[in-house]
Amino acid sequence: MKCRGTWVLEEGERFEIQVTEVADVVSYSGRLLVTDWEGLDTSPPPKAYTREQLERGVKTSMESGMTYNFDVVVIPKKGKEAIVHTILRFDSETALDEDCSRTADKPLCEWEITRT
């Protein structure tokens, strides 16, 4: 069960995040916050993704000097622990392929991809 993680990628490398439902999930949604920490701030505006988009997978290409924070809010069924499955793929490998269990008081999954 992993619900948070950080990875360091090379410039130009592509990554894909895919989130699917496993059990006791009402819904979930994701949000990508990009931080440009190199030179002038050219951070793009944050973007929210629907459950369907997350099920299909969200693909992004790593830019120099950027950190990508992908937060997923999971709504569990009343009184249950919701389980979602996250797959994080890079160009060359699958970095993450695990379930994450979330409750009403801990609904966030947090994934950070950066380049240093």
Partner 1 sequence: MRGAVQTIRPMTVLLAMIPTGMPVLGAESPSPRAGETIAQYEERLLDEALAVAHVETAEIISSKTTATSPPEGFAGRVNDALADFLPFFQGAINGISTSDDDKSITLRFNPLRWKSGETAFGATLTEPQVFQPVLDAVVAPAREEQRQLLLDQVDDWGDLTVTGTYGYLRRAETWESPQLHILWGRDYAVYRPLVDSLLVSALESMPPEVDAMRQAAERAFVAAKVKTSRAAKGTSCDRTSFDELVLACLESILSSEDYQALLQGLARKAEARTALYSTVRDWNLAGGLPDLIDNQPQLTAKLSYVNRDAFVGPDSYALSISYELGFRNFNSVIRQYRWLKRNAKDSPAATAFQAFRDVMSEGDALGENKLVFGMTYNRVRAYALSYAYVETVTDPGTGTQTQFPRSADVDLPTSSELTGRVQWGRFLGRSKAGEPVPRLDVAAEYLNVSDDSERLDRFVVRATYTHPISTTVSFPITVSYANHGDLPGEQDRVLGAHVGLSYKFNRQDEGSDR
Return the range that interacts with partner 1 (CB under 8 A); candidates 9-17, 56-64, 86-94, 106-114: 106-114
Residue 3 within binding range of partner 1, rule CB under 8 A: yes
Window 35-64: residues binding partner 1 (CB under 8 A): 35, 37, 41, 43, 46, 48-52
CA 91 – CA 80 distance, rounded (Å): 36
**Residue of the chain from 19, 30, 86, 111 that contacts partner 1 (CB under 8 A):** 30
Joined together, the tokens standing for residue 115 give 């380049």
Backbone angles phi, psi at 61, to 5 degrees: -105, 135
- Nearest approach, Cβ of 12 to partner 1 (angstroms)? 19
Residue 26 within binding range of partner 1, rule CB under 8 A: yes
10 Å CB burial of residue 79 (0-12, 13-18, 19+) is exposed
Pairing of strands 108-114, 4-8: parallel
Joined together, the tokens standing for residue 76 give 């569990």
Interaction site with partner 1 (CB under 8 A):
1-4, 6, 8, 26-31, 33, 35, 37, 41, 43, 46, 48-52, 67, 69, 71, 73-79, 101-108, 110, 114, 116
